[in-house]
Amino acid sequence: MKNSVNREIPDDLMKKYDYEGFKTTEIGNPEIQRVAPKVHVSTGDNKVVDSIKDVVKETVKDGMTISFHHHFRNGDFVFNEVMREVIDLGIKDLTLAPSSLTGVMNDMVIEAIKAGTITNITSSGMRGSLGDFVSHGGLKKPVIFRSHGNRARAIEHGDIKIDVAFLGVPNADKLGNANGMEGDAVFGSLGYALMDAQYADKVVLLTDNIKSYPNTPASIKQTQVDYVVKVDKVGDPDKIGSGATRFTKDPKELKIASTVNDVIVNSPYFKDGFSFQTGSGGAALAVTRYLRQAMIDNKIKASFALGGITKPTTDLLKEGLIDRIMDVQDFDKGAAESMHTNPKQQEIDASWYADPDNKGAMVDQLDVVILSALEIDTKFNVNVMSGSDGVIRGAIGGHQDAATGKLTIISAPLVRGRIATIVPDVTTVVTPGDSVDVLVTEYGIAINPKRQDLVKALSSLPGVPVYHIEDLQKMAEAKVGKPKPLEFTDRTVALIEYRDGSLIDAIREVKD
C-alpha cells in the first residue's frame, strides 16, 4: 500500500509486523494502557560485581532484547565490552534496542550480526560501515528506526520490551544510585537511558566510579538497578562531546544561520516567553549567537530551551535570557557541567521530551525549532536517514518529534558538493512535510504553502528572498544536474516509523 506521504510500504511486512501506514501528524487523544517491568526483589546491601561476563551469563538468554544508551557517543567503552562477552558466550537471536548506535559500535554490531548473536535491531540511526552493511542486506530482518520520542512511546506501550539494559554511567553507588554529572566520563543528562532504567526487567549499570552510599542526585535509582559492574573506564572523555563546539566560520553556514535568525525574529513566535530547540553543530551554534543578540536587542527572554544542549545555550541560561533548560541530552562538557550546578537546567527523560502518547511532552510546547536535512523535497518531506546513494547514514534523533514545533525551520545548503539537498522526492521520508514550515538555504527561504500566515510575515524581509520550494529545487538541479535514479532490490532492509508507531517509509537494499 501507499501511505499518506505516497510511500510504498510492502504489504507483507505491514501484516507481519502489524503496522499501519502513516496517515497524519495529528496524535489525537487515544487511551493507552502502559506496560511495566518484572522486578526481581532484592534487599541486600551490595550489587557491585567485577565481571561483565558473569552478569551477562546470569541475565542474557537467547532471543532476548537488550539495550544500551548512546550518551557517551564515540567515547563509549560499554557497548563493545558487553557485546564482546555476549558474542563469546555464544548467545543467539538477540534484538538490539539501543537509544542509538554510534560509529564506535559499528564493527562489533557487524560481528554480532555475522555470528547470529544479533538478528533484530531497532535504533534511532546508524552510520558508516554498519549503515553500509545493512543497506547491502547484511541483516536478514529489517532494522526498525524510531525517533527518540517514538522509542519512549514504544517502550511505554510494550512494542519494545527490554529484558536487560546495560547502562554506562560516570558514577554509581553500591546499590545503583547514579547520575551523568560527576566523574571522568561525564555527559550530563541521562535522558534516553532513564527509559531503560524504568522499563527494563533487568538493569545493569557499568561504572568506573563507585561513590559512597547514598549517591545523589540520583537520576537512576537503586529501586531500578539489579547489578553495578565496576570497570576500568566506562568511556573516553575526549570523545564524548559531539561535533563542533566552536562557531562556524564558513560564510555559507553563517549566511544560513543569519537567515534562520531573521526568520525567527520576524515570525509571530519571537516574543517574551517563547521557546526553542536549536541542536548541535557549528551552524546551530551560530544561530544561537545571532538569536542571543536579537533577544538582547529586543528585550525578549525565552521560557525554555529544549533538546540536545550545548554550552552556548547554557550560557544563555546563566545570562538570564532563558528561564529554563529542559535537558534530555548534553552535547558538550560545558552543558553537562551546567546541569550539575544550575538548578534551572532540569533533566528530563525521553518520554517527557517527546513521547507523543503522553499527557503532554515538551516538544508539544515548542515554538521555534531548527532542524537539519540530508534531503528535503518539494512536499517539504525531510530525509535525515539515507544518503543520495540510498545508503543508510543518519539518525532520526528527535527530528520527527521536534518538528511538531509551531515554527519548524529546516536549515540546509542548496547543494552539498555535487549533490542536491532540495530534490523532487526525498530518498527516504523521515519527517513529513506537514510538520515543516520554512526551509532556509544560503540563497533564500521557502515557506510551506500551508502556512500563509508565515508567507505574510516573512515575505518582505530585506536580504531574505522567498522562493517557491520548486524553484529552489530547480536551482539546485541546475547546479548539479539530474542524478541517475537509484537502483534498489525488492528486499526491505529497514522500516522507518513515524513517531506514533505507524510506517512512514521503508528502505530497500541497495543494488550494486
In the list 2, 12, 18, 28, the residue contacting its own copies (rule: CB under 8 A) is 28
Give the residue among 68, 33, 64 at the shortest CA–CA distance from 157.
Answer: 33
By CB under 8 A, is residue 342 in contact with its own copies? no
By CB under 8 A, is residue 303 in contact with its own copies? yes
By CB under 8 A, is residue 119 in contact with its own copies? no
By CB under 8 A, is residue 462 in contact with its own copies? no
Handedness of CA 223, 61, 165, 82 (dihedral sign): positive
Nearest-approach distance from CB 353 to its own copies, in angstroms: 10
By CB under 8 A, is residue 31 in contact with its own copies? yes
In the list 1, 36, 89, 478, the residue contacting its own copies (rule: CB under 8 A) is 36
- In DSSP terms, which residues pair with 144 in a beta bridge? 122, 495
Q: What is the DSSP string of 119-166?
A: EEEEESEE-HHHHHHHHTT-SSSPEEE--HHHHHHHHHHTSS--SEEE
User: Based on CB atoms, which residue is closest to its own copies, 375 or 401?
Assistant: 401
In the list 11, 16, 34, 449, the residue contacting its own copies (rule: CB under 8 A) is 34
3-class secondary-structure state, position 383: strand
> What is the DSSP secondary structure assignment for residue 233, as one 8-state letter?
-
Question: What residues from 199 to 258 belong to the interface with its own copies (CB under 8 A)?
Answer: 203, 212-214, 216-218, 221-226
In the list 43, 246, 299, 417, the residue contacting its own copies (rule: CB under 8 A) is 43
Calpha distance 303→297 (Å, rounded): 17
User: Based on CB atoms, which residue is closest to its own copies, 20 or 323?
Assistant: 323
Residues in the chain: 512
Look-up: residue for cell 530497500? 508
Q: Tell me, residue by residue from 159 to 178, as one string, x for binding to its own copies by CB under 8 A and - for no binding.
A: ----------------xx--
In the list 32, 89, 296, 478, the residue contacting its own copies (rule: CB under 8 A) is 32
Nearest-approach distance from CB 219 to its own copies, in angstroms: 11
User: Based on CB atoms, which residue is closest to its own copies, 55 or 412?
Assistant: 55
By CB under 8 A, is residue 320 in contact with its own copies? no
Nearest-approach distance from CB 180 to its own copies, in angstroms: 15
User: Based on CB atoms, which residue is closest to its own copies, 87 or 167?
Assistant: 167
Alpha-carbon distances of 508 from 142, 430, 487, rounded to whole Å? 9, 14, 9
By CB under 8 A, is residue 358 in contact with its own copies? yes
Amino acid at site 62: D
Round the CA-based radius of gyration of the chain to a whole number and report it. 22
> What is the DSSP secondary structure assignment for residue 192, as one 8-state letter?
T
User: Residue 293, Cβ neighbours under 10 Å: how many?
Assistant: 11
By CB under 8 A, is residue 511 in contact with its own copies? no
Name 176's Cβ contacts closer than 8 Å, sequence gap at least 6. Answer: 47, 203, 205, 220, 221, 222, 224, 225, 226, 227, 228
User: Based on CB atoms, which residue is closest to its own copies, 117 or 177?
Assistant: 177
User: Based on CB atoms, which residue is closest to its own copies, 156 or 442?
Assistant: 156
By CB under 8 A, is residue 290 in contact with its own copies? no
Check if the beta carbon of residue 4 is closer than 8 Å to that of residue 23: yes
Q: Interacting stretch for its own copies, rule CB under 8 A, among 30-38, 185-193, 329-337, 377-385?
A: 30-38
C-alpha cell at 276: 526553542
Calpha distance 95→442 (Å, rounded): 42
By CB under 8 A, is residue 39 in contact with its own copies? yes
By CB under 8 A, is residue 355 in contact with its own copies? yes
Check if the beta carbon of residue 130 is closer than 8 Å to that of residue 33: no
By CB under 8 A, is residue 76 in contact with its own copies? no
> What is the DSSP secondary structure assignment for residue 407, as one 8-state letter?
E
- In terms of DSSP bridges, do strands 322-330 and 302-309 run parallel, antiparallel, or are they unpaired? parallel
User: Based on CB atoms, which residue is closest to its own copies, 174 or 508?
Assistant: 174
Nearest-approach distance from CB 478 to its own copies, in angstroms: 41
Q: Interacting stretch for its own copies, rule CB under 8 A, among 22-30, 76-84, 280-288, 490-498?
A: 22-30
Calpha distance 477→500 (Å, rounded): 34
By CB under 8 A, is residue 37 in contact with its own copies? yes
- Please return the burial class of 67, using the count of CB atoms within 10 Å of its CB with bins 0-12, 13-18 and 19+: buried
For its own copies, the binding residues (CB under 8 A) are 27-45, 47, 156, 175-176, 203, 212-214, 216-218, 221-226, 273, 303-304, 323-324, 326, 343-344, 346, 351-352, 355-362, 364-365
